[in-house]
Structure 1
Amino acid sequence: MSEQRHPDIEVYIKNCPLETILEWLGERCDEVRTLNSVGGTHALEVSIERCTVPVMIHEKAVGKAWISIWFRSDKTPWPRDIDCAHEVSRALGTQVRCIAESWTESNDNDEEEWWRIENGIAEKIQWPNS
């Protein structure tokens, strides 16, 4: 696994209400501002550890069970997606998934390796088919 800092952070949260995710963001970040909210897509800006980070939240990102939260910057407290996924899974008490390696333009497979994090355990899976 690459230890290099990812250019952005995206995690997928299973069966968790949007309100609960927004509460966690409010506790984790110094400030959370909603810029736009249309349907199931929410554009936010958060201040976290003295950095301003744009955030996109997509409800029903994969089927009905998954909400995506995308921190669109490398200026986050988490160097890699899996670091954020562990924190979110602990804080929200639910399964969280993230890509196993940082996404690149060359990632053109429909099925890639992902981390499934639940109850403090990280397991590599093929997703979205599992």
Structure 2
Amino acid sequence: MTEDQRHPDIEIYIKDRSLERITQWLESLCESLQRDFEQGQVHHFNARISGCEIPVMIHEKVSGKAWSSIWFNSDQTPWIKDLDCAQQAARELETEIRCIASGWTSGDDPDEWWRIEGDTVEKIHWRT
């Protein structure tokens, strides 16, 4: 996947933020956000962002107790790649965000991630 190629979906990992805080952030991005269903610590939503219907899943405590993931299951998000979303989330949620360094292309290093906190953006190896 090239550097500027749109990712087919967006997934970020958020450190130490409650489901309520993450949901508030999503609501600030969306024209509408409807809870679809929940199963334990997995929460499914239907979001309307920039006129597009986007399935969104929040998975709490996906990596230890500190990390929750948000998966936007669409290529119609406002972001070209995961890093774009992660940088916005880090600013607006005021916490550390991580995302995969590539677009999950065959041959990529699955342990290579972006770590974003404040204005710091760095590549790290993260073995979840």
Q: CA deviation at 1:121?
A: 1.2
1:66 aligns with 2:67: yes
Partner of 1:19: 20
The one-letter code matched in structure 2 to 1:89 is A
Q: What TM-score do the two structures reach when normalised by structure 1?
A: 0.92
Q: What TM-score do the two structures reach when normalised by structure 2?
A: 0.94
Partner of 1:50: 51
Aligned equivalents of 1:107 and 1:82: distance in 2?
A: 19
How many residues align structurally?
A: 127
Structure 1 residue ranges without an equivalent (≥5) = none
1:114 aligns with 2:119: no
Aligned equivalents of 2:127 and 2:57: distance in 1?
A: 20
Q: CA deviation at 1:128?
A: 2.2
Aligned equivalents of 1:16 and 1:113: distance in 2?
A: 23
The one-letter code matched in structure 2 to 1:40 is Q
**3-state DSSP of counterpart to 2:78:** coil
Aligned equivalents of 2:72 and 2:107: distance in 1?
A: 19
Q: CA deviation at 1:120?
A: 1.7
Partner of 2:35: 34
1:83 aligns with 2:58: no
Q: 2:102·2:108 contact (CA, 8 Å) conserved in 1? A: no
Aligned equivalents of 1:107 and 1:66: distance in 2?
A: 26
Q: CA deviation at 1:107?
A: 5.5
Aligned equivalents of 2:75 and 2:19: distance in 1?
A: 23
Higher mean displacement: 63-72 or 120-129: 120-129
Tell me the C-alpha RMSD between the 2 structures: 1.5
Cα gap change, 1:18/1:107 in structure 2, threshold over 3 Å: closer, same or farther? farther
Runs of 4+ in 1 over 3 A off after TM superposition: none
